[in-house]
Structure 1
Amino acid sequence: MTSLKILVPVKRVIDYAVKPRVNKTSTAIETANVKHSMNPFDELSIEEAVRLRERSLPVTDILAFTAGPAKSSDVLRTALAMGADRGMHVVVDEKKGELEPLGVAKLLQKVVMEEERNVVILGKQSIDDDANQTGQMLAGLLNWPQATQASKVDIEDDTVTVTREVDGGVETLRAKLPIVITTDLRLNEPRYASLPNIMKAKKKPLVKKTMEEMGVDLGKRLQTVKVQEPPARKGGEKVEDVDGMIRKLKELGAL
């Protein structure tokens, strides 16, 4: 079986337990003085990469990658404490704003080629922009097969079998290496980074690069016109019987 060299992209996002607030100019979500952590779907990806190694598969290297401000090194250290072997951080100037999914996919494409990866495991989406696009775009750029929203992953004799949930049941996909896999919540339960592993992570290699060193076109293609809170939901209304429900639905134009 071919040796597995895994790339796991991770992202620093507002912690899932924090309620996002729109900034005063209604142009973005307020991030100043807000708790951040690793994107939950990326935690699943790191965990799955480590579990593949624990299943005695020939995983020779797990590279955790992030592109973001200087503080993003924190999530890389968490990934290393969870079991990744190395980290790579492309430092992004906060003043330039968030990278778009296509830009991230292009960065990942370059890392895949330079680091000779044959498996990419990434979260299906990040909980800040919820784009759910990067994995699919990366597979397109690499011309690799893809399996999205994985709830189970098996690899045997260079064949990858991915189970994912779909409307009405589950779907099983099979493809040959190399492959791009995006993870869903039912895939696993990420481990906590223990104190000994956190200390060991400080000694693991973490390389920092600039955007200029990557030499990738990251020009903006999207423009955010306005960000606003969703409208408050109106309270429901009780009806006495089926006829009353039908009458009310007609009043609302639903029938």
Structure 2
Amino acid sequence: MAAPVRKNEPRPGKTGKIGKTGKTGKTGKTGKTGKTGKNKTPEPIAADTVCGTLTVQGPVRVRTADRADLAAIAALHTAARAAHHRARFPGTPFDEPAGHARRYDAWARALDRDDTALLCAVRHGTVLGAACYLPDASAVRENRPHARPTVTLHQLHVAPAHWGTGIGHALHTACLRGWHTAGFTRAVLDVRWHNHRARAFYRRLGWRPDPDRRPVPDATHLTLTLDLPQDVSSQAVPPQDVSSQDVSLQDVPPPPAGR
């Protein structure tokens, strides 16, 4: 015969159920989230805006270009030009071998000029951008002897697969330092009217339409001008060019103030 159960006394079998509250201890498994602390900070990357791939960023070195760089410079110039024009005319071949040859010859001629400076931007041993500039000849041509010392940024191109990774800003910074050393107080350039990407790039760097060279109604290019600061470091770094802080300059020559 079973023993009588006293009032308020838990039944022996039911006391085991109290132990089930111990299951709440399983919530301790949430501690596994601590593993996220083991994750290393990822290496900065930037989206390749043309091919949709990712390009690992690294330090950029800007140096004087030489004849051994001409093939790479002509190739990236041709690719950049083709990428711009394909945005407006899809399917049109703008990077044909003949175009590459023409640009190679143009850069070679610039290299042979005494009044022109050629720069290239190198990352991990690969030439990814190039620029060239020379004293602006309009003051002499237009008989303006008291015009401000002005330099023309004739070319600045970056391989499309590396747009937005700091190459363009590295080249621009090198140009600014060369211009400052040479005593220029103003810079000008011509940009294609429909090249909105390039126009936005220069606008972020402080370039503005030249009020003295207003385009005609059917113009294909727009002339921009930049007042050169006395302190080159005063120009801000655009937020999208995050790797440009790693710029190092080597053998960047100032051009002569005139021929």
Q: TM-score, normalised by structure 1?
A: 0.29
- Between structure 1 and structure 2, the one with the greater Rg is 2
Higher strand share: 1
